[in-house]
């Protein structure tokens, strides 16, 4: 026990106070937000009495605005700084949750989803860039893993509570989510310092304001983002479609389903640091190939199950992939990015999530409504196989290029 405490103290000393400020704020805000998002599609489908495909269009609206603002976020954050853009995003998200609690029509939900899609990339890109500014290259993989532990601690708590709160009052859940986001925004406003690098060289400063041309010429990074989008689509299917699928097809209520995302979060909290210590010994593209394989297996297996424990098992399999994949992909992006272009690299990386969350629910909803509900997961398994093969291609290509050099 004394050794554990000593190691914990050393870990805390190894990272700046502002990093731990982000850690605490992320924990609080995620508890609130995760009381809502696992059940949002269930809430909308019941409130508006519309089919899954139409509900999925709301997620697509969110994704399209997220796509636009993910592109805008990088230049804005590289030019105006990280801190206040993060504050605007967090407080804006809080206000949107309040508005969503009062929404009564499809149009009102669509507007709310569009606003969430606009605010979310601003925070995500700003926070990723701020962490990259604060943490030296050799410590970034562990830093991103620690922050994932914070976020997933929130996800461990939020859905478990949110499932019970939502059954009684979705409005209460929305207001708790709004409070968490707003508190985190105030915390950043009052306690964080700006981390945007200052460039003395005028040529380097002009480079900051350039467009995305430099990134588009980074062939290794662009190939990675295209392939990673396929993996992100698998995650979107599980996170966005599975709650509705289990509820409408098998009658699993919100207060029980909440323990499935909670399991994901508990695994990340307890295992992420240990898994990262193993994965950092290997080449990142190889690590991401293995992680994607777990996502593919989990997605395909969902088609075979019809009860709570089967779906719970699929979440466990997916989470193993997540533990392997996500910190590695974050670090891979941060390490490829020059200091003056971090915001824009993180924007392009964030596009993978926006594109995936826009396409995957529509694809899943279409397969479900036109063929059969299980077809969503059969299609997802096939998509996963393609993603694994694509990552293997990246690994082989990378090795050949290394041999040439």
DSSP track, 231-266: HHHHHHIIIIIHHHHHHHHH---HHHHTHHHHHHHH
**Amino acid 209: pLDDT:** 44
Pick from 308, 322, 309, 311: nearest CA to 265: 322
Question: Per-residue pLDDT averaged across 30-43, rounded?
Answer: 81
Percent with pLDDT over 70 in the chain: 94
pLDDT band of 354, cuts 50, 70, 90: confident
For residue 316, give both structure tokens.
Answer: 């466990």
Low-confidence winner among 161-175, 286-300, 333-347, 357-371 (lowest mean pLDDT): 333-347
**pLDDT higher than threshold 80 for residue 9:** no
**Amino acid 211: pLDDT:** 56
For residue 340, count other CB atoms closer than 10 A to its CB.
20
pLDDT band of 3, cuts 50, 70, 90: low
**Amino acid 1: pLDDT:** 57
Q: What is the mean pLDDT of the chain?
A: 84
pLDDT band of 269, cuts 50, 70, 90: confident
Counts for the chain of helices (H) and strands (E), in that order: 18, 0
**Amino acid 210: pLDDT:** 57
pLDDT band of 327, cuts 50, 70, 90: confident
User: Among all chains, which residue has been given the structure tokens 């995760």?
Assistant: 34
Q: Which ranges of 282-374 does DSSP label H, i.e. alpha helix?
A: 284-301, 308-336, 342-370
**Amino acid 262: pLDDT:** 84
| Rounded-to-integer distance, Cα 363 and Cα 169, Å | 31
Burial class (CB in 10 A: 0-12, 13-18, 19+), 213: exposed
**Amino acid 110: pLDDT:** 92
- What is the per-residue pLDDT across 100-116, written as a single tens digit (0 to 9) for each? 989 999 999 999 999 99
Percent with pLDDT over 90 in the chain: 28
Low-confidence winner among 10-14, 91-95, 184-188 (lowest mean pLDDT): 10-14
183 versus 157: which is more confidently predicted?
183
Angle at 206 between CA 204 and CA 209, to 5 degrees: 120
**Amino acid 73: pLDDT:** 79
Check the CA dihedral 212-215-216-217 and report its sign: positive
Angle at 371 between CA 302 and CA 240, to 5 degrees: 45
Question: Per-residue pLDDT averaged across 182-204, rounded?
Answer: 78
The second-level CATH assignment, the architecture, of 11-404 is Up-down Bundle (1.20)
For residue 38, give both structure tokens.
Answer: 């696992």
**Amino acid 2: pLDDT:** 64
**Amino acid 215: pLDDT:** 78
Which range has the top average pLDDT, 92-96, 127-131, 206-210, 256-260? 92-96
Q: So where are the chain's domains? A: 11-404
| Rounded-to-integer distance, Cα 261 and Cα 312, Å | 9
**Amino acid 293: pLDDT:** 96
pLDDT band of 4, cuts 50, 70, 90: low
């Amino acid at each position: 026990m004394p050794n554990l405490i000593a190691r914990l103290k050393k870990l805390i000393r190894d990272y700046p106070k502002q990093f731990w400020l982000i850690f605490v704020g992320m924990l609080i805000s995620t508890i609130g937000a995760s009381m809502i998002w696992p059940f949002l599609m269930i809430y909308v489908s019941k409130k508006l009495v519309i089919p899954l495909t139409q509900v999925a269009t709301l997620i697509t609206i969110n994704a399209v605005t997220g796509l636009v603002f993910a592109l805008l976020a990088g230049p804005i954050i590289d030019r105006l700084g990280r801190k206040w853009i993060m504050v605007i995003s967090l407080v804006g998200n809080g206000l949107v949750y309040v508005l969503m609690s009062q929404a009564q029509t499809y149009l009102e939900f669509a507007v709310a989803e569009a606003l969430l899609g606009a605010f979310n990339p601003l925070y995500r890109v700003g926070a990723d860039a701020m962490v990259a500014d604060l943490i030296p290259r050799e410590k970034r993989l562990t830093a991103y893993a620690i922050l994932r532990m914070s976020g997933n601690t929130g996800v461990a708590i939020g859905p478990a509570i949110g499932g019970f709160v939502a059954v009684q009052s979705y409005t209460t859940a929305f207001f708790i989510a709004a409070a968490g986001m707003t508190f985190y925004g105030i915390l950043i406003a009052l306690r964080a310092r700006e981390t945007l690098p200052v460039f003395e060289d005028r040529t380097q400063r002009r480079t900051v304001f350039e467009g995305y041309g430099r990134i588009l010429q980074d062939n290794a990074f662009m190939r990675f983002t295209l392939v990673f989008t396929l993996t992100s689509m698998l995650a979107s299917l599980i996170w966005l479609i599975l709650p509705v699928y289990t509820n409408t097809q098998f009658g699993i209520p919100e207060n029980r389903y909440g323990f499935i995302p909670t399991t994901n979060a508990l695994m990340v909290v307890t295992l992420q640091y240990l898994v990262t210590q193993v994965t950092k010994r290997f080449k990142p593209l190889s690590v991401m190939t293995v992680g994607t394989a777990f996502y593919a297996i989990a997605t395909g297996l969902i088609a075979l199950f019809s009860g709570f424990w089967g779906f719970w098992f699929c979440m466990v399999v997916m989470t193993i992939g997540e533990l392997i994949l996500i910190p590695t992909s974050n670090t891979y992006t941060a390490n490829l990015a020059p200091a003056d272009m971090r915001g824009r690299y993180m924007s392009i990386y964030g596009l993978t999530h926006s594109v995936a969350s826009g396409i995957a629910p529509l694809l899943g909803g279409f397969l479900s409504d036109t063929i059969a509900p299980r077809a969503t997961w059969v299609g997802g398994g096939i998509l996963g196989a393609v993603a694994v093969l694509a990552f293997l291609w990246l690994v082989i290509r990378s090795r050949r290029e290394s041999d040439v050099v």
